[in-house]
Amino acid sequence: GTGSNILSALQDLFWLSKSKVEKQLQIISVLQWVLTFLIMGIACTLILMYILCTDCWAIAVLYLAWLVFDWNTPKKGGRRSQWVRNWAIWRYFRDYFPIRLVKTHNLLTTRNYIFGYHPHGIMGLGAFCNFSTEATGVSQKFPGIRPYLATLAGNFRMPILRDYLMSGGICPVNRDSIDYILSKNGSGNAIIIVVGGAAESLNCTPGKNSVTLRNRKGFVRLALRHGADLVPVYSFGENEVYKQVIFEEGSWGRWVQKKFQKHIGFAPCIFHGRGLFSSNTWGLLPYSKPITTVVGEPITIPKIDNPSQKEVDFYHSVYVDSLIKLFDKYKSKFGLPETEVLEVN
């Protein structure tokens, strides 16, 4: 009857509204991370300086005193919070793209690991979601393994930002931090290093699968010194979520990017995604393209206190071959043609 029709219409309206609300929550969750990535460190520093000049200066002084006392904590494994890692906002973040974590092999809790994450993309969104939150179930997929996503050490000199990053299990990508986690933190640790770094981000663009790896061997040397197994990881779709202007080698634009990379540690990119209110306009939000992160088979690495260059080169070549095999095995499952080749630079 008429009552049933009205009830049905109200139910349709309710579900439509719920869908819209969820989409807006997904957008908000991604926007807060993008703003964190781009401006949180600088913004918090400026706010702290401003508070020092107000009647609330004591609050800023207390935090600065705590900062001095706590300065070396990031180098000692940080201060992760399972509460922060399990925030509901990260599930909305995951569903925006969506992001998925694929396990191919078990990892022994009696070993330590170095994950090589590829490609970098503009912001490493897949790396963050999969390993610095529990949104894709990393702790359930790899029980007993503690993931540490390594990022620029300069981020941990920024007030507030450092604490926010540590709460997700993020650590500085420097020797002191990695040595501590792999030698003084027991077993079952997995350090995720985005091997290509800033140099790789300069070449990421939709439709291109390339990694900067040929001359990146420091992570292999670290693995040998600690006897940590190497695990190749490839994120299909990481390069699809932003578009950027690619400057050719030798151009003034690439010269500026390389200078920033050399002296500051990151390379400024001219990129864009979609707008906040429409996918047809330009903005800072990434495009909602699927990102699937595949964790490959661990490569058993012996412990050698002072590995020779020959030993480093050998295990590096084994790693490169494993990454290519991982890419070739899964590329067709995640939307790439069988003819697609991973470009290793």
pLDDT at 128: 97
Domain count for the chain, please give it: 1
Q: What pairs with residue 243 in β-bridges?
A: 272
Beta-strand runs (E) in the chain: 99-103, 113-118, 146-151, 170-172, 189-194, 210-211, 229-236, 243-244, 271-274, 282-283, 291-295, 343-344
114-128, 150-164, 241-255, 325-339: range with lowest mean pLDDT? 241-255
pLDDT tens readout for residues 292-325: 999 999 999 999 999 999 999 999 999 999 999 9
**In terms of DSSP bridges, do strands 291-295 and 229-236 run parallel, antiparallel, or are they unpaired?**
antiparallel
Q: Are 261 and 303 in contact (CB under 8 A)?
A: no
CA dihedral sign of residues 234, 237, 241, 247? positive
Annotate 24-37 with b (16+ C-beta within 10 A) or e (fewer): ebbbebbbebbebb
CA atoms within 13 A on the CB side of 45: 11
pLDDT tens readout for residues 44-99: 999 999 999 999 999 999 999 999 999 999 999 999 999 999 999 999 999 999 99
pLDDT tens readout for residues 98-113: 999 999 999 999 999 9
Nearest to 266 by CA among 74, 75, 38: 38
pTM over 0.85? The answer is yes
Residue 247 banded pLDDT, cuts 50, 70, 90 = confident
Residue type at 63 in one-letter notation: Y
Type and span of the H or E element at 71: none
What range does the domain containing 28 cover? Answer: 3-344
